[in-house]
Amino acid sequence: MNPLLVLLQVAAVALLLCLVHAAKPRIGTTPFYMVVGMLVVMLFVIGDFGFRVDVPLLWGQDVPLDTALLLPLILTAQVMVYVLEGSRAARRLVVGIVLVQLLHHGLDLLVVWNATQGGGRLGPTGLEGLPTPDVGQRLASMAAFVADFVVLIVSYQFMVNRLAWLPDFLRLSFAMLFAMGTDALIYGAVFSRLGGEGLFPLVEKVQCVAAAALPTSAYLWLGLRHGRASALGGRQRRALDVIDLRALLAQTEARLEDTERRFEDIKDVFSRYVSPEVVSRIVDDPSKLALGGEEREVTVLFADIAGYSTLSEVLSPTEIIGLLNQYFERMTAPILDRHGMINEFEGDGILAIFGAPLDLPGHADEAVGAARAMLDAVEALNADWAADGTLDRWRDSGVERLAIRIGVHTGTVVAGNVGSEARIKYAVIGDTVNVASRVEALNKTLGTPMLLTGQTARSLGESGPALQPMGAHVVKGRVEPVEVFTLGA
């Protein structure tokens, strides 16, 4: 037989495999896998019946037909499925090959059992013509197939990832050659022999895998170029993703859990500035955190500690920090409970916004309710400090008790994120913020703990608190007097 004719047969059957695979969208997956299954069965049938067909190649000695034709074609089918359909489909294929081997072995045993029971009619040669299944040989064969698959896919993907300059024909040929070498070594190691082939016929197998790889690599190139690879296939994959899928899944789950944990931590931190409901709504619509601003009506609350400068003089820095931490802790809850946002702590001052970043119906009522609760919280804090002796130590320094001043104003602001992509800050800008600050300072002049403007008073609902008019006053930065109210008795 002409050696070129042998290699042409290998290439032709490989091309046939490619054509059957390419026709899967029209004829389904069954024909392709039936062809692969037939190749696997033929590989074992030849060995079962003890006959050997040797074929010549261009260089080297004659080799068995199963070495020249069947094994290279099975390997090309595995690479074809892996590249174009993904790791999962390739794993299913190798599992199917192993199942075919198990089924074939089981049928062989069944035939021999029936023959030995005397119920069947044997040919003239009797039991001599029957295959003699060897469990060790079959186990060795299955182990070799699994090892072939791993070496084939890992070596091929490794070369794709690391040797991109290498033509795909050579990558495929090298990977198939490595797999065939593994087949000989594993089979010999498990079955304690080299499968009747002697030493590994390197030169001969190079020719066989090259003949099978030529049409296969062209088909893979066309498939990838025209986008036939599925979302699970293609080029960008780890070389070991076939054998460590469980580890990768565990790592992915661990990273997901870590991300969720950090997300919950961020939500917890953010919830200290705005209510949990606001956090949830922003998480549902992250676009609300984009740079930019929008004009909206809000109620702004300013609060600071009366006599803070005196406290700073008589108390040590450590005592001041402790005081502020306890104070801010008590002031935060009333604001967040009423769906406000703490825009910033500055020194002893608190700036809170009601009605931003999300709409808040009745934001004036919520702000005034928060202010009243803050005043009550300060009284509760003074009671605690009186009980533990803190106020007694302050009186020795001329400070009787903690007192705060609050200013509330309703109006239009521009609210949004300002800064850069690297660092942003949510801010409210406009005359409304300035007026709230000036009204808070006006408490000192009028001797009141809290003042709200006429705009806020007119925005309150019918169930709002009783208010006491405090007149109209000129504040810094405003030409028009500002009408203010305080809480009624």
- Whether 252 maps to a domain, the answer reads no
Q: What's the CA gap between 436 and 433, in Å, rounded?
A: 5
* Structure confidence at residue 38 (pLDDT): 82
- Whether 89 maps to a domain, the answer reads yes
Residue at token pair 């070799």:
144
- Whether 87 maps to a domain, the answer reads yes
* Structure confidence at residue 243 (pLDDT): 44
* Structure confidence at residue 388 (pLDDT): 86
231 and 332 housed in the same domain: no
* Structure confidence at residue 194 (pLDDT): 42
Dihedral sign (CA 176, 53, 15, 73): negative
384 and 472 housed in the same domain: yes
199 and 294 housed in the same domain: no
412 and 327 housed in the same domain: yes
57 and 202 housed in the same domain: yes
477: left (phi over 0), alpha (psi -120 to 50) or beta: left
Cα–Cα separations (whole angstroms), residue 272 to 312, 341, 368, 475: 26, 9, 20, 32
- Residue 385 belongs to what domain range? 290-487
182 and 310 housed in the same domain: no
pTM summary value: 0.48
The Cα diameter of the chain in Å comes to: 125
- Residue 389: which CATH number? 3.30.70.1230
Q: Give every CB contact of residue 318 below 8 A, 6+ residues apart in sequence.
A: none
22 burial via Cβ count (<10 Å: 0-12, 13-18, 19+): middle
Radius of gyration of the chain (CA): 41
257 burial via Cβ count (<10 Å: 0-12, 13-18, 19+): exposed
The structural domain count of the chain equals 2
- Whether 136 maps to a domain, the answer reads yes
312 and 417 housed in the same domain: yes
Rounded average pLDDT per 10-residue block, the chain, 489 residues: 77 84 82 81 64 67 69 80 76 79 75 64 52 63 76 79 78 79 69 47 70 80 62 45 52 73 65 58 61 80 87 81 88 90 85 86 93 93 87 75 92 79 73 91 92 92 85 84 86
220 and 297 housed in the same domain: no
